[in-house]
């Protein structure tokens, strides 16, 4: 088991619906430490970079519109096996298919408006967190 870091975003729908505290609380209660936290509005440039792996997908433009449509809350979490455990806690991408007890399973009914994003691998984390945070915003 290894201590890892992962990036979590509460997306515009999660912020709009007042779920920021609920999302953070679940991760804190699980035992993760918050190493960085801020609210921001993604620019189109940031969003296109962040979701560049989906550039060729038919939903790419809608996804960029959605993630830039309002403020988001971004955090870096640290803990044992953080990448896999956080992915388990957020549930399947499609809120209609996510297990009850997961964040998406409890709060989402959509594949696009699915409340949260979390890095799916170490490589994704390394790429994603730099788009959102500068090094001086992160606790060492
Ligand atoms: P996320 O975990 O942030 O990673 C990529 C996002 O693209 C995903 O959550 C969804 O919000 C969105 N997404 C994935 N698949 C689809 C799809 N088929 N239609 C619309 N949006 C999608």
Q: Where in the chain are the domains? A: 3-137
Total-model pTM:
0.97
Q: Please give the pLDDT value at position 75.
A: 99
| Long-range contacts, stretch 121-128, CB < 8 angstroms, 24+ apart | 121/83, 122/4, 122/83, 125/4, 125/5, 125/6, 125/7, 125/83, 128/7, 128/50
* Minimum-distance ligand 1 atom for the alpha carbon of 9: 3
- In this prediction, residues 22-51 reach a mean pLDDT of 98
Q: What are the b/e assignments for 109-140, b being 16+ CB within 10 Å?
A: eeebbbbbbbbbeeeebebbbebbbeeeeeee
Rounded to an integer, the average pLDDT of 68-87 is 98
- Mean pLDDT confidence for 26-41: 98
pLDDT number for residue 69: 98
Ligand 1 center to residue 85 CA distance, Å? 19
Note if 54 is an active site residue. Answer: no
Q: Is the pLDDT confidence value at 105 over 90?
A: yes
The predicted structure's pLDDT at residue 23:
98
For residues 84-101, give the mean pLDDT: 98
Please indicate whether residue 124, judged by its CB atom, sits closer than 6 Å to ligand 1.
Answer: no
Can you give the pLDDT at residue 57?
A: 98
Q: Calculate how far, in angstroms, residue 54's C-alpha sits from the geometric centre of ligand 1.
A: 9
pLDDT bucket at 1, cuts 50 / 70 / 90: confident
Does the CB atom of residue 63 touch ligand 1 within 6 A? yes
pLDDT tier for residue 46 given thresholds of 50, 70 and 90: very high
Q: What is 3-137's CATH number, 1.10.10.350, 3.30.70.141, 3.30.300.280, 3.40.50.10470?
A: 3.30.70.141
- Given the residues 6, 117, 118, 128, the one annotated as active site: 117
Q: What residue has token string 């550039």?
A: 55
């Amino acid at each position: 088991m290894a201590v890892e870091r992962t990036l979590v975003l509460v997306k515009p729908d999660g912020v709009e619906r007042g779920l920021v505290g609920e999302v953070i609380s679940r991760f804190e209660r699980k035992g993760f430490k918050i190493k960085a936290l801020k609210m921001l509005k993604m620019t189109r440039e940031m969003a296109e970079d962040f979701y560049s792996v989906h550039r060729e997908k038919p939903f790419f433009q809608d996804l960029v519109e959605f993630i830039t449509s309002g403020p988001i809350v971004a955090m870096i979490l640290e803990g044992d096996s953080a990448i896999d455990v956080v992915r388990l806690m957020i549930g399947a991408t499609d809120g209609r298919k996510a297990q009850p007890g997961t964040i998406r399973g409890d709060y989402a009914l959509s594949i696009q408006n699915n409340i949260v994003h979390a890095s799916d691998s170490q490589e994704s984390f390394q790429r994603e967190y730099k788009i959102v945070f500068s090094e001086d915003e992160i606790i060492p």
